[in-house]
């Protein structure tokens, strides 16, 4: 493995994550033939196939999974070494890369930015939006320092967490929907209407937990899944459908109704790597810090 370059590891990780050479090449801004040639060179160096190529994309071999794990860690270690060296030389301003969950209440990033500024004056906070799945991946690769996610979720190794806020989710529907006159929505009413919701891969454990709490297989879940930002538009296009969300999304066109007897709670949690050497993050997580910040977050 001594002959495998860091650049080639990055190429392999991109292919393994995309499971498609074309998409990975676009992401890396190189040509597909060049990317394929580089991966073959890595496989020759290691002495075994890492990917199984087929017309629809690629599959990762058992050896490829092992290499992916080590390559991901090596890339993260290299980036950390570069970042810490530059900081030690005074070449970089202190920065916290904050992974923001799509749809997170605005009070949470504001509170985190305030805590960062209080604990490390002059620091820079860079927000990076994405789903729970994307934030977990970015945290593991070192692309974010602190991430906001919804639980339940299985946390990666060597991570710590702090619950920050809870928010009740209910039913969102157009003001002209037949159920808009109801003060609460029952589970039976919920089952009678098509539910448009987020893509499961955006937060698998949160998704499965919510669906189970609301009736499991009895729900009429639409085959058209949407990102969080698209749900409101989907309702306006499909006024006969419903979705799940927070009271914050309600306006003159969209109304929010609680679910009778089955409150669905979204718990927003901050997670970070315990081996991170980011000075802003370290300052924020020193007690009293994130673990006590929940008291100061405005009720949602």
Q: Which residue has the tokens 């914050």?
A: 248
Task: Tell me the residue ranges of DSSP E strands in 117-222.
Answer: 124-130, 146-151, 159-174
What does the block give as tokens for 101? 């969950």
Strand, helix or coil at 240?
coil
User: d(Cα 127, Cα 207) in Å, to the nearest integer?
Assistant: 24
User: d(Cα 168, Cα 191) in Å, to the nearest integer?
Assistant: 19
CA dihedral 40, 42, 47, 49 (to 10 degrees): -50
Q: Which residue has the tokens 């990975």?
A: 24
Burial of 35 (0-12, 13-18, 19+ CB in 10 A): buried
Say what the pLDDT of residue 51 is: 95
- 88 within 8 A of 257, measured Cβ to Cβ: no
Q: Tens-of-pLDDT digits for all 300 residues of the chain? A: 458 999 999 999 999 988 999 988 988 888 999 999 999 999 999 999 999 998 888 999 999 999 999 998 998 888 778 777 876 665 567 889 999 998 888 889 998 999 999 888 888 999 999 999 999 999 999 999 999 999 999 998 899 999 998 999 999 999 999 999 999 999 999 988 999 989 899 999 999 999 998 887 788 999 888 887 788 888 999 999 999 999 998 999 999 999 998 888 999 999 999 988 888 998 888 766 676 655 444 445
Going along the chain from its start, the domains and CATH numbers come out as 6-85 (1.10.10.10), 94-159+278-298 (3.40.190.10)
Angle at 166 between CA 165 and CA 172, to 5 degrees: 135
């Amino acid at each position: 493995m001594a002959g495998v370059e860091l650049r080639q590891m990055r190429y392999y990780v991109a292919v393994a994550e995309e499971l498609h050479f074309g998409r990975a090449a676009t992401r890396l801004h190189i040509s597909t033939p060049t990317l394929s040639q580089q991966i073959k060179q890595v496989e020759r160096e290691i002495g075994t196939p890492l990917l199984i190529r087929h017309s629809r994309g690629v599959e990762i071999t058992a050896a490829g999974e092992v290499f992916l794990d080590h390559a991901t860690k090596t890339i993260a270690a290299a980036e950390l070494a570069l970042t810490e060296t530059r900081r030690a030389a005074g070449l970089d301003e202190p920065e916290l890369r904050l992974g923001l969950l799509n749809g997170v209440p605005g009070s949470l990033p504001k509170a985190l930015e305030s805590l960062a500024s209080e604990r490390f004056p002059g620091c820079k906070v860079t927000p990076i939006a994405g789903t729970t799945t994307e934030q977990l991946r970015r945290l593991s690769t070192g692309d974010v320092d602190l991430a906001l996610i919804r639980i339940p979720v299985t946390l990666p190794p060597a991570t710590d967490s702090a619950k920050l806020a809870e928010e009740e989710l209910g039913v969102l529907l157009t003001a002209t929907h037949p159920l808009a006159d109801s003060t609460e929505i029952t589970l039976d009413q919920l089952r009678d209407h098509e539910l448009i919701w987020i893509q499961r891969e955006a937060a698998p454990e949160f998704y499965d937990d919510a669906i189970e709490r609301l009736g499991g297989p009895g729900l009429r879940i639409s085959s058209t899944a949407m990102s969080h930002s698209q749900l409101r538009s989907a309702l306006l296009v499909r006024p006969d459908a419903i979705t799940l969300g927070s009271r914050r999304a309600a306006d003159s066109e969209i109304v929010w109704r609680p679910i009778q007897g089955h409150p669905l709670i979204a718990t927003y949690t901050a997670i970070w790597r315990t081996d991170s050497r980011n000075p802003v993050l370290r300052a924020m997580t020193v007690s009293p810090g994130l673990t006590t910040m929940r008291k100061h977050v405005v009720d949602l």
